[in-house]
Amino acid sequence: MRDLTFDFLRVTEQAALAAYPWVGSGNKLKADGAATNAMRDTLNKIDFDGKIVIGEGEIDNAPMLYIGEEVGAGVNPKVDIAVDPIEGTTSTVNGQENAFTVIAAAPRNTLLHAPDMYMEKIVVGTEAKGEIDLNASLVENVHVVAKANEKNIKDMRILIQNRERHTQLIDEVRNIGAKVYLFDEGDITYAAATCMKKQGIDLFYGIGGAPEGVLAAVAVKCLGGDMQAKLLPKNKTEYERCVEMGLYNPNKILKLHNLISSDKCLFVATGITENILLKGIVLDTDSNYVTHSLLLNGQNKHIRYIECKHFNYQELVK
């Protein structure tokens, strides 16, 4: 798996560079299409046997990078792939922060095959590993994590996505004296940032996409943090979809090892626009694109930042 790290870096770099011309364009279809094409083309040049388990959707509504699609040259190693060609498509085309491209990978059959539906998620860093419990209330979890982090409640920093569905929980956490920091897009990077001590975030909570939850879980695994999740099928059709994908008890609390069961995992992301962890793409004085990427490895728990100058990239894509 480690031998594939820089191959996957090229995948996210190429997808980000392909999306960059569409920053501020307002055209979500063109932006996503450009990134998806670039990601797929680059994946298919790698010597591995890849299978998309988290992608752009089902085969009937996603022409490429669909769930179950095989990518790569078809030679060992056999790898599960989770991708998001653009996390934050709206942010990209509106010229806003928190847009990036991401890939997570692990040995075959070690990544959760999550259906595209809502998922409840809670993430903490290393100090509170093993302490969280989605069966308990968010307020109870804040108290437990405060004790594990040796902090007073008033010093706790909680990240929650700014959505109406979270309003009551935000009020409950603030009412006990903890600080809530809201964000709009990019819950993968915010979940990962919870596991980086220098970010000063004690707990991440949110109800968002299940595919993003699996991508976040790989980053959390690589960083030594902890995560729990729960699928939230909204109707019988979504419940049955879970069962069809092998999740026979969709209401079960999923622990980190249920989301990603191997330490031999990789997480690679490249910024399109700036976010909490990554710089966005910029042009240098010679009109060369400069990308900024994050590489995480579950075996050695290393955090690598890679800045790359792409000479003459504009000429190559004309």
DSSP class of residue 28 equals H
Residues contributing to the annotated binding site: 32, 56, 84, 87, 212
Q: DSSP string covering 160-181, please?
A: EE--GGGHHHHHHHHHTT-EEE
Please give the angle made by the CA atoms of 190, 191 and 193, to the nearest 5 degrees.
60
Whether the CB-CB separation of 126 and 204 falls below 8 Å is answered with no
Direct distance between the N- and C-terminal alpha carbons of the chain, in angstroms, rounded to an integer:
34
- What residues are designated binding site for Mn(2+)? 32, 56, 84, 87, 212
Strands, E, within the chain: which ranges?
A: 49-54, 70-71, 78-87, 100-107, 118-124, 157-161, 179-183, 203-209, 226-231, 254-255, 266-271, 282-283, 289-297, 303-310
Spatial distance between the Cα atoms of 41 and 43, rounded to a whole number of angstroms: 6
